[in-house]
Amino acid sequence: MAIRERTNSRTLEHPSGDERYKAIDRTMKIFKYEKDALLEVLNSAQETFGYLTEELLVYISESLGVPMSQTYGVATFYHLFTFDPLGENNCIVCTGTACHVKGANQIVEAIASEFEVEEGGTTPDGVFSLTTARCLGSCGLAPVIVLNGEVKGKGTTETTVREVRAVLAASESTAEAG
Ligand code: FES
């Protein structure tokens, strides 16, 4: 079954309900679903998810109407794209205009300092990575972060650090149990 049901309005959301697809949809809308926007859309997908997956490539191919081979070709040609998750846990902080105004940069700094990770980097043990994105398509929730795939909005430096700490503690206890 096609991931995106074809309609003239192109307003359907991704059936998974995953909020992160909104950022990709937003980029495609800005570029009016032009095939030439492929690179920009892939970039948006990588920023939002932290890395590319086959499902993302299929979704983008179907939405833009470009062959999967072309999408895959572009995604593998440019070194800026990766198919590997950055860390076991990852946090993407939106630093687009709306989020910037609401203190996104302070959140980035707080997480970087608290968890000793560089922006765009992963901790040496591979447990946690921190990246930023330009706009995750949920500006009304600014400042927005995506923590292990879950979109969270209207946080502060304190609540975000707390949430990251909780996620890391949970993953540590899962690792110990395993
Ligand atoms: S600027 Fe952050 S979601 Fe749009």
Which one has a higher pLDDT value, 62 or 14? 62
The highest-level CATH class for domain 1-83 is: mainly alpha
pLDDT recorded at residue 3: 47
Q: How confident is the model at residue 1 (pLDDT cuts 50, 70, 90)?
A: very low
From CA 114, how far away is CA 153, in angstroms rounded? 20
pLDDT digits over 32-52, tens only?
Answer: 999 999 999 999 999 888 889
Q: Ligand 1 mean position to 175 CA, how many Å?
A: 33
Q: Summarize pLDDT for 10-31 with one digit per residue, the tens.
A: 545 677 778 889 889 999 999 9
Collapsed DSSP state (helix, strand, coil) of residue 171: helix
pLDDT for 93-132, tens place per residue?
999 999 999 999 999 999 999 999 999 889 999 999 998 8
Higher per-residue confidence, 13 vs 161: 161
- What average pLDDT does the chain have? 87
Pick the CATH number of 89-177 from 2.60.40.10, 2.30.38.10, 3.30.460.80, 3.40.30.10: 3.40.30.10
Cβ of residue 151 lying under 6 Å from some atom of ligand 1: no
Kindly give the number of the ligand 1 atom that is closest to the alpha carbon of 143: 2
Question: Are residues 114 and 74 in contact, defined by beta-carbon separation less than 8 angstroms?
Answer: no
What residue segments make up the domains of the chain, in order of their start? 1-83, 89-177
Q: What is the pTM of this model?
A: 0.71
Strand segments (E) across 61-155: 89-94, 121-122, 128-133, 145-147, 150-152
